[in-house]
Amino acid sequence: MLLAVIAEALTFYYVKAFAVQSTVILTLAMSQAVAVAVFYMQLKDEPGSVRLFALVGMMFLSALLIAMVASLG
């Protein structure tokens, strides 16, 4: 996860194209959210209904982030 944070920072400061920058940062942020959900919340051992409930929250968050980026452009 530390490497993803470093990649986000480098992307923010060195990539000038807004579309590429936002895509890379959002992809890294979603990968970090999935990693936290799977490993730190221990969802890999839970039944499917609990994992689905967590997935709905992540999908809602990604929809909000995509809408935010679309409104900026």
Q: Is the entire prediction scored with pTM above 0.85? A: no
> Six-digit token pair at 62?
């990604």
What does the alpha-carbon distance between residue 2 and residue 8 come to, in Å, rounded to a whole number? 10
What does the alpha-carbon distance between residue 37 and residue 55 come to, in Å, rounded to a whole number? 9
> Six-digit token pair at 11?
């992307």
pLDDT tens figures, 14-63: 888 888 888 888 888 888 887 887 777 776 777 877 778 878 887 888 88
